[in-house]
Structure 1
């Protein structure tokens, strides 16, 4: 597997801090180029996900280790950013939520556990399951995709090796091949960055297509702290050409930027 191939660099322990940072950064610069090559695959997946979600479907991510954590992060940021329900985009990690902070040994090796985890959400054919696995061989992800596909769900994946078992299990695979890691096999580095970028593109594009952005603004975001309240007020002020006092009054009455703008008279 390419993700397990030997680093381009030798004797890392003998490098200065400057050289370590410079060389890591040099490798990181190759990641967006690899993601760009996968845009056609991402486009196909996003198009299918949007169609399902317009019919009431949900989006599930399944993964283990770093890949699972990235899925959980992406899913958890959708409600505050776009004002969607917490169960619309769901991230599941092998070993359960405890594995977000502390690795759970061998949790990724059970090919049946992902479907058990998904079934707790009463998964339906209109839903989408996206497997995330740098190696492309994680049993938790392969089993989950196979069983989700058999149940009629749409399936996709984000992997960093070509021709993997995970990609074969998914109808719409996204393969972002970033090459050897700076530290051999440490896929939390380039592979993890690639997965994060791909997830950003996936969820953001889906939410925009679902109408959760107006212009370039997060008009449905939750006003859950002072920074976001101030951002919302600026949006309303700019859109309606009103004072800050009026903007804050509208936000207090209608709960978000969209409501404030659409109900202003």
Structure 2
């Protein structure tokens, strides 16, 4: 007989582990496979739309904490962990924030980004150890990422964060999960069974990516990292971004390309270049 914890684990995995709505995939043509995957993908934004109120609550508390100097941490394993690392790594170049304001931690360490580390996600204590490296405090926010909602690495990390008075959130793809039970601000995007049964890198991963895009973009706008609809604090780390910076300065100030280029070269920052014009006018 199964004990209650194991029975609950199985029940919570029903949606993400349920058999696909499609069968005999190997008998489909390439076109059929692509069209059916696309049909399933179309349902994801609708599932995200249903939980906007949950995302709103998480975004509001995260912005509040970060305005006061706090940081955002993601903890996850496998695809979920990689998505957290991805979102965190894109915040500095996009919004000009220091690399340690949004941090993605994955079970098994950075090596697990490229190659799966066996059983790393099953360690209930490791996430908290990983967070302690960053001197985690009650100024910060910890968001657990787990499609199944049952990942021990994430559960343990959120549990310890709660014990230390740290704001916790999560993004999961099953309702009523153990991860969501630990999170003070849960986001539960239920996208249903995957096209390839149990392959949560598909719809579940897409849903998590959408939510993380929404979360950090909203928070960064609240932090004043955007002007109008422009990334005025972005890092000018390549020619494409440099020329984008010039175009932003032209759009915001009405200056010609030569003047905008000179301003960007002088100040090395889009926001400062724009502000210099506004102050002098």
> Aligning the two structures, in what range does the TM-score lie when normalised by the shorter sequence?
over 0.9
Q: What is the CA distance between 1:254 and its match in structure 2?
A: 1.3
Q: What is the CA distance between 1:263 and its match in structure 2?
A: 1.3
Match of 1:255 among 245, 253, 268: 268
Q: What is the CA distance between 1:79 and its match in structure 2?
A: 0.2
Partner Cα distance (2:268, 2:112) in 1: 35
Match of 2:164 among 140, 151, 167: 151
Quote the residue 1:80 is aligned against.
93
Quote the residue 1:123 is aligned against.
136
Quote the residue 2:150 is aligned against.
137
Q: What is the CA distance between 1:239 and its match in structure 2?
A: 1.5
Mapping of residues 107-256 of structure 1, within 5 Å:
107-256=120-269
Quote the residue 2:71 is aligned against.
58
Q: What is the CA distance between 1:238 and its match in structure 2?
A: 1.6
Point out 4+ residue stretches in structure 1 off by more than 4 angstroms. none
Partner Cα distance (1:154, 1:260) in 2: 37
Q: What is the CA distance between 1:23 and its match in structure 2?
A: 0.3
Quote the residue 2:23 is aligned against.
10
Q: What is the CA distance between 1:257 and its match in structure 2?
A: 1.1
Quote the residue 2:42 is aligned against.
29
Partner Cα distance (2:111, 2:263) in 1: 40
Instruction: Report how many residues are paired.
Output: 265
Partner Cα distance (1:134, 1:248) in 2: 45
Q: What is the CA distance between 1:244 and its match in structure 2?
A: 1.4
Q: What is the CA distance between 1:32 and its match in structure 2?
A: 0.3
Partner Cα distance (1:135, 1:238) in 2: 45
Partner Cα distance (1:254, 1:171) in 2: 42
TM-score, normalising length: structure 1: 0.99
Partner Cα distance (2:265, 2:133) in 1: 36
Unaligned runs of 5+ in 2: 1-13
Quote the residue 2:8 is aligned against.
none
Q: What is the CA distance between 1:149 and its match in structure 2?
A: 1.1
Specify the SS of the correspondent of 1:236. Answer: helix
Q: What is the CA distance between 1:85 and its match in structure 2?
A: 0.4
Q: What is the CA distance between 1:246 and its match in structure 2?
A: 1.3
TM-score, normalising length: structure 2: 0.93
Specify the SS of the correspondent of 1:91. Answer: strand
Q: What is the CA distance between 1:245 and its match in structure 2?
A: 1.6
Deviations 1:176-196 (A, max 9, x none): 000000010000000000000
Specify the SS of the correspondent of 2:198. Answer: coil
Partner Cα distance (1:178, 1:162) in 2: 10
* CA-based RMSD: 0.6
Range 82-91 or range 244-253, more displaced:
244-253
Specify the SS of the correspondent of 1:161. Answer: coil
